[in-house]
Every structure is written in structure tokens, then in C-alpha cells.
Structure 1
């Protein structure tokens, strides 16, 4: 029965169930250490009776169209899902993430606008750490291109347990990957480098904790980082090399798309200019030429009218 039902099954990125399923697999792939290749990495065990979502044939179709056709070999074996993890798997899976995350971008844009408005209303310009956060919020497209959506600037790690604390900045990307940035203002005049090193390590440890909290809260892939006022060139410090690599891939993809958009704009500008000039000429011909021809005809036909 499932086999025949699967004939009428269409892969659709606008279907929330399909999107959740595919992005969940993407998140698991992104969480695997990219330097460790595995010919058959187990991602999850899928209980068809518990999930009550897709049958095995529908899953095969989803995996084929979403992953296998894009050079990421994710497959089902009985009730388990595996991926052949290769050196380029991480690079290949990010465009899939972007494609399947697109229906969520509009809501992300609205959230970004709302959070930036709230931040501007509550920003304390006399507080050193808030000034640092403000710099991040307003220049994130330069500091970390690709993570341009402000998801939150103060969020509860757990709504039920307040002792888990409050996280700092979270930014989103077009790839369904969020980044937690824990900030800390260090006293550079204290002269105690040991204390600063301890504070720096503490904020990095905190970033790891809040990365996990954020992944559970927002149900997306989350990478972690810290940001202090003593880092070289105001660089963001990632909690591990895996997260740094993911951020680099997203930044490179983002910069590549921006460059491509610029190239298209440069190419299409002359084309649009020619189209505009042609429209002006056509308008001139249609509007002005007929009356001129009509007047010329009258003068030619009835020259004596000029004598009146």
C-alpha cells in the first residue's frame, strides 16, 4: 500500500514536514567532524510507527531528490538513515540547507527588523559591553558576512529554569544555521593577564553551553563563538574548528553570491539602458510622429491654407 501511495508523493520545500525532516538531517551532517570521513555514518533511526510521517518509499524519494541529486549520498537502510561522509560533504550540504530553508527567510527578515528596533529602543550607550554588542549588531555583515539576521540579543536558555541564565546575541543565516555570540568586556587596565585569560576561557565555555541550549530552543544547527574587546582585529573566536569551518563556508558562499549579484547588475545595466532608450524612441515615434505626418500631409494637400 505504501509503495502505491508514494507514486502520488511530491517533494516540496514548502511542505513543513518535509522541510523539518531534511533540515534535521542537514543539521546532523553539519555536526559531524568534517575532518573525519566515514564511508557509512549513521545519522538516525527512523521509527515509522512513532513518527507517523513518511513511509519508507517517501523517505527514499526525499533523500534522492534532496541529497543524492546534489552529490550528498544520504540513504535509508531498513529503518536507519546513513550518509557516506566525504571530504566535500560539508561543502555540498550547505546549498541544500539554503534551498530548504528559503520558506523561512521572510519570517527571519521580519524578526530581524523587530529585534533591531527593540535593541535601538533599549540600547544603553554608557555601558561598555552594550557598546560592543551594538558594534556587532550594526556591523555583523562586515564582521561575519552571511549571518545578517538578528534573532535575539537577550534570550532565556530555558523558559522553565531561570538558573540556566540568559544568552547574548544570536544571528541567523540563509542556510538555516544560527550562531551564538557570547560577549564579555574585559578590563584592559587591570594588568592581570591571568585574570583576563580566565575570563576569556570562561566566556568561551559559556558559549559552548549556550550553543547547546540554542540548538534545543530553535531546533536548527547552531554554532558557537565568543567576542571580547581584546581579540586581535576584533575577531570572533569560535568554540571549535568545526564551527569555524561552517562559518567560513557560509561566509564564502555569501560573498560569492554578493559578487555574482554585482556582476549580473553590471552586465544587465547596459541591457536595461538600451531597453529604456528604445522605449523612449518608441514613445516618441508613437506620440509625436503621427501628428507631424498629419500636419505635413495637410500642408502638402492644401498649401493655400498657409496663405490664410
Structure 2
């Protein structure tokens, strides 16, 4: 076909702003990104520095925050540059951005599954907790929670390398593999197979998390002590899980079944909500709800105020 080509550059949609709107959006986005970095970075530092927080639950939380910084780094710097220049991206850059954002999203599922398993063992099998969640086993769990998302998304991205495309317009503010597949003159079968395998794998994650929390709720109903544990340690996980699942499902449903008659502003918000809300909400929820983390944060703020007062 004459219009087949190996695309070198892609055009990203949604950047039809006036110069004033671009400047305002740049400032707001930069401030939001800095808050995400500070919130997650502060929680990571608090967990790393305090030996009392070197427990499986907090290690998994630290990994979740690192994953948030990893995923947002795949979007915000490029988005900020696009607001000040032309909204184009190279083929290699598109593949890299899609890989980072997809693997980060899958990584969230893996880590939330680990956190659900950790709470299941802690509440339903408390006497066996330390023998089950050993340091070696926790290290393996964290490694696998990073390995599988990176490997799965690498395989997905590899199947798109070198395919012939019949277009160069990405209908989104950032690159995703599904949009690249939509531009293919003939979608590669290998990508379809890998995509369905990945969907089944992470649907399995979701079923595991759902069943774990259903069992936890059933167990905690009969005991006030277990209810207290659930409210203190499981509620933040549940809030994080619900927020994440809702944003991901809305993004997926809109991307595949959304109407083209929707306003550009709403379309843009639906495209980036999964990169706006969970990365900022998670550290806030865990920081305020988990007692040990809250105490560490408050003690750090108290020390900073005391140092500032003494310096005066």
C-alpha cells in the first residue's frame, strides 16, 4: 500500500490551548508534579531512615511510592515540554513512554496484590506472620512485583517494533501501545496474544486482591480487635485500591469505547487521571492513616520547626 510507512514521529492530540492557557497549565502541572515527588519522596525517606518501619507492610509501601515516581517520570517531563513546544514524539520515545507508563500501572497492581496478601497473613494467620513474611521472602516478592510488569510490558512493546503504520496521530496526551496498534496497517498477531496474556495475568491479580479483602472483611466482622486492625492497616490499602481501579477502568473504557463528541478538556482529563490522582492520593492516605508513618512524619516536622526556632 502506498500510504504504509515506518513512522518516525507521532503527533499527540489535545494540545490546542492558547499561549496563556499553556503557561497557566504548565505552572499548575509543574506544581502538581513537584507535590507528587515530595509526597512520595518524603514517605520513601521516612521508611528508609526509620528502622522501626523496616517491616513487610512498609517495605511494600515504599516500593509502591518508588513505582509512582517511576511512572510519573514517564509522563510529566514530556507533557511539560509539550506545553512549551510542539506536541510531537519520536517512534522510539513513544515506545519508551508507553513502556514506562504501562509497566508502572501493572506494577501498582502487583504491589497492591502483595499488600493484600501481607494484610491477609497478618490478620488471618498472625502467629505464622513472621515465619511466612521473612526478609528473604519479602525481597523475592518485591523483586517479582517489579520483574513481571517490566517483563510483560517489554514483551508487549517488542511486538510493536518495526511494524508498518498507516497513520501518525496519537489521540491522547501521551503514548500508549493500544493507540500504536490502532495505527498499524495490519495489527501484529503476536501483540494481540501478548496483550491477552497480560490482561489475564493482571485480571488474576485483581481477583486475588478482591478475594483477599472479602476474606479479611469476613474474618474481621466477628472480632473487635480484628476490626480495629482492619481500620488501621487495611483501610488505606482499600482506599488506594479503589482509587486506582476506578481511574484505570475509566481510562481504559474511555480509550476503547469513548465518544468522539466529548469535549477536549474532558477527554484530556480522562486520559491523565490515572497519572494525576493515585500518585498523589496514595502517600497522603498512607501517611495520615498508618500510625507509625504518621508519627514519623509529625516527629520530622516537629524537629524541623524546633531547628528553625533555635536558629532564630
Q: TM-score range by the shorter chain?
A: under 0.3
With normalisation by structure 2, the TM-score equals: 0.24
Structure number with higher helix proportion: 2
By relative contact order (CA 8 Å, sep 6+), the higher-ranking structure is 2
TM (normalized to structure 1)? 0.24
The structure with more radius of gyration? 1
